[in-house]
Amino acid sequence: MNPSLSRLVAALGASLFAGLTHAAEVHIAVAANFTAPINEIAAAFEKASGHKVIAAFGPTGGLYTQIKHGAPFEVFLAADDSTPARLETEGEILAGSRFTYAIGKLVLWSASAGYVDAQGEVLRRNEFNHLSIGNPKTAPYGLAATQVLARLGLSEAVKPKLVEGTNITQAYQFVATGNAELGFVALSQVFKDGQISGGSAWIVPEDMYEPIRQDAVILNKGKDNPAAAALVDYLKGPKAAAVIKSYGYDL
């Protein structure tokens, strides 16, 4: 056997052995706004640990309903802090596993360059037809948007022009397709590598709305799964933090 082939066989054997001893699967439920960062984090985690991450994405409320009805999720990354807190009081999680993995930032965004100014004066001018927000009852970013509008004293003025997405992804979609001239979306949706990736935006000062804490928990189904604990540890580590910040979240 030539040396390179034997190295390959040895490597294959080792990885197979590693697979038999350590690798496990972890099923996670992730709020839609965190789709891109978790994909990047999961890929790096899989490479580092040999575990496999199987992710389902959806609105936080919808995922909550699925968890309450026996969905096979082991780790839950919510878009708010109240849903994980609720699961904790209901005894659905590994006690003490709740932590904040990211703090969301709100941005007023338009797909057209130069439409939104750096101070958000475009809201006061009120010359648009549609302002897109997430449903304030179900989407934390939607709730934050209504807080900003209230702070600016514009709640009543823009009310007839509000269109609601069921979640922040749909709120973004309405703006991206141009059907709404502008909308309040998650900074993470329009931010890549340290800057706004297209259109024009006003990053809303954080004192204008309640912090959008996104909490994660290990659910009861995952309390004996080493891969679930390993993923949560990785999520708290510096490598994941760098990815999370690169998508425009705070920590």
133 marked as part of a ligand binding site: no
Residue 169 identity = T
Q: Per CB under 8 A, does 57 bind other proteins?
A: no
Residues 172-191 that bind other proteins (CB under 8 A): 173-174, 177-180
- Choices 38-46, 58-66, 192-200, 204-212 (CB under 8 A): range interacting with other proteins: 58-66
Q: Which of 33, 110, 132, 169 binds other proteins (CB under 8 A)?
A: 132
Residue 112 or 197: which CB sits closer to other proteins?
112
- Choices 118-126, 158-166, 209-217, 225-233 (CB under 8 A): range interacting with other proteins: 158-166
Q: Per CB under 8 A, does 110 bind other proteins?
A: no
Q: Which of 164, 209, 221, 234 binds other proteins (CB under 8 A)?
A: 164
Q: List C-alpha distances in Å: 229 to 220, 235, 244.
A: 12, 10, 19
Q: Per CB under 8 A, does 166 bind other proteins?
A: yes
Residue 186 or 240: which CB sits closer to other proteins?
186
> Closest distance between other proteins and the C-beta of residue 210, in Å?
18
> Closest distance between other proteins and the C-beta of residue 121, in Å?
22
Q: Per CB under 8 A, does 137 bind other proteins?
A: yes
Q: Per CB under 8 A, does 71 bind other proteins?
A: no
> Closest distance between other proteins and the C-beta of residue 135, in Å?
6
Upper half-sphere CA count for residue 4 (Cβ side, 13 Å): 0
Q: Per CB under 8 A, does 19 bind other proteins?
A: no
Q: Which of 33, 97, 135, 189 binds other proteins (CB under 8 A)?
A: 135
Q: List C-alpha distances in Å: 115 to 110, 120, 184, 240.
A: 6, 10, 14, 34
Q: Which of 39, 55, 57, 62 binds other proteins (CB under 8 A)?
A: 62
168 marked as part of a ligand binding site: yes
